[in-house]
Amino acid sequence: MQYFRLSEQEDYSLSDVTRFNDKIFAHRQPNKAYDLYRFQDNPFAHQKKDYLYIATSNGSIIGQLLTLPSGLAFNNKKLKAYWGQDYILKEEFRKKGIGRKLLELGSQNKYYMGFGMTSISRKIHKKINIPIIGRVNFYQKWNSKVSRLKHALKRRLWPQKSTLQNITQFPKKIHGFKRITSAQDLHLPNINWSAHTLETLRNKAFIHWRFFYKPNHYFMYAQTKSKQKNTQYFVVQPKIHHNSYWLQVIDYRYDIHHKTNFKIFLSALEQLRRMMSFTGVLIATTLKKERKVLKAQGFTRFKKRIVVSTFPFKHQKTNNYFISNLADSDWAMHNSFGEFNFKQ
């Protein structure tokens, strides 16, 4: 049994990792475009590939921990970060301590991050003392109570699966926001939007790669009039939820110390939902102060996931000073049927 970074040897390459993913994640295959997007075209990636970890036995890959190069922003400084993804072993090699050794190796890069893990994965993280740094809470809001009842009745009487539609006709302007099609349209003089807050990094390189890699997969709206230094924005896409199309918020940034900003976002989202005739709005947050606003406006929480990290964030109230969104997770890199958003 061997454990190593991909950069530490010459027998295995990213292509071998992709072939392993095609076997393990058969529902996602082909994985080539997805792996190149994450680990080669990613602006934080580099040729060395010292953020991919594999375990081998008898000359074959039997497990892996792939960490996505990214960044954090704190006190207007950039920090490296690596998000754990595709952490998995072949079934016959489980419960032998192999997963723990992979994680011990993979979490040595500063700073390791983990999001939305399985219960088994969480136990391993806990054993090697990688603490919880925050929680992502998922909220939904139906367009009306009547609509929700009609939808439940329709599903019971005429059950059918939704089909994927190419919804790209998003409006150019809504409620104090305009749609932008390039990261260069954003004004970002500061690294952080909010003081004394740990944020997952959003610079123009990340935004271009994450949202404008190919057109008409994500839709970004920037606030047209604001006194804040950094452009305040949100990113959305259509999402099948409860067997109908909803407006899914993928990412957003604003100065959290100005309470009215989030309410302005929600107002714009509701207007966009009405214009596009979506069943409802989906949004995720790590902030307690936002949860209170969402609850007051009729949103209900339907699930939550933890975020773990080796970053030594010592703030007493991390639930109001740590910001991460769906754009940081590989969940939002796939459509409602598990297909890579930017597939060839």
In a domain, 86, yes or no: yes
| Claim to verify: residue 74 and residue 49 sit in the same structural domain | yes
Distance CA 75, CA 32 (A): 37
Q: Which of 130, 163, 190 is the last residue of a domain?
A: 130
70 shares its domain with 85: yes
Contacts of 41 (CB under 8 A, 6+ apart): 209, 213
The mean pLDDT value of the chain amounts to 91
Q: Give the residue with greater pLDDT, 328 vs 339.
A: 328
Q: Determine contact, residues 193/74, Cβ cutoff 8 Å.
A: no
Domain membership flag for residue 331: no
Q: With respect to residue 327, please indicate whether it lies within any of the assigned structural domains.
A: no
pLDDT at 153: 62
Q: Which of 74, 107, 130 is the last residue of a domain?
A: 130
pLDDT recorded at residue 159: 55
pLDDT(147) > 80: no
Under the banding of pLDDT at 50, 70 and 90, the label for residue 258 is: confident
Residue 251 counted as domain residue: yes
Confidence at 226, pLDDT banded by 50, 70, 90: confident
Beta 198-200 vs 177-180: how paired, if at all?
unpaired
> Are 303 and 165 found together in one domain?
yes
Residue 171 main-chain phi, psi, to 5 deg: -65, 155
Band of residue 335 on the pLDDT scale cut at 50, 70, 90: confident
Query: What is the pLDDT, as a whole number, of residue 160?
Result: 54
Q: What tens digit of pLDDT does each residue of 20-44 get? A: 999 999 888 899 999 999 999 999 9
Q: Strand 233-241 and strand 112-115: pairing? A: unpaired
pLDDT of res. 28: 87
Q: In the block, which residue shows the tokens 């950039």?
A: 78
Mean pLDDT of all residues in 327-341: 86
Percent of the chain with pLDDT over 90: 76
Each residue's pLDDT tens digit, 61-74? 999 999 999 999 99
Q: Do 42 and 118 belong together in one domain?
A: yes
CATH of the domain at 256: 3.40.630.30
Residues 208 and 170 in one domain: yes
Same domain, 142 and 280: yes
Indicate the number of domains in the chain.
Answer: 2
- On the 0-12 / 13-18 / 19+ scale of CB atoms within 10 A, 249 is buried
Residue 210 is predicted with a pLDDT of 97
Domain-embedded: residue 329: no
Structure tokens given for 252: 């957003």
In-domain check, residue 76: yes
Evaluate if residue 156 carries a pLDDT over 90.
no
Mean pLDDT of 111-121: 90
149 and 209 share one domain:
yes
Is there a domain that residue 282 lies in? yes
Determine the Cα–Cα distance for residues 119 and 101; give it in Å rounded to an integer. Answer: 18
Domain of 268 in residue numbering reads as: 136-308
Q: What is the mean pLDDT of residues 320-329?
A: 93
* 29 and 68 together in one domain: yes
- How far apart CA 270 and CA 298 sit, in angstroms, is 12
Task: Pick the last residue of a domain from 115, 130, 145.
Answer: 130
Q: Is residue 343 part of a domain?
A: no
Higher pLDDT, 6 or 163: 6
| 265 and 167 assigned to the same domain | yes
pTM for the model stands at 0.92
- The kind and range of the H/E element at 279 are none
| Pair 105, 178 in one domain | no
- Reported as a pLDDT band with limits 50, 70 and 90, residue 290 is very high
Kindly state whether residues 201 and 165 are assigned to the same domain: yes
If asked whether residues 274 and 143 sit together in one domain, one would say yes
Q: How confident is the model at residue 310 (pLDDT cuts 50, 70, 90)?
A: very high
Neighbours of 343 (CB within 10 A): 15
Q: Is the pLDDT of residue 289 over 60?
A: yes
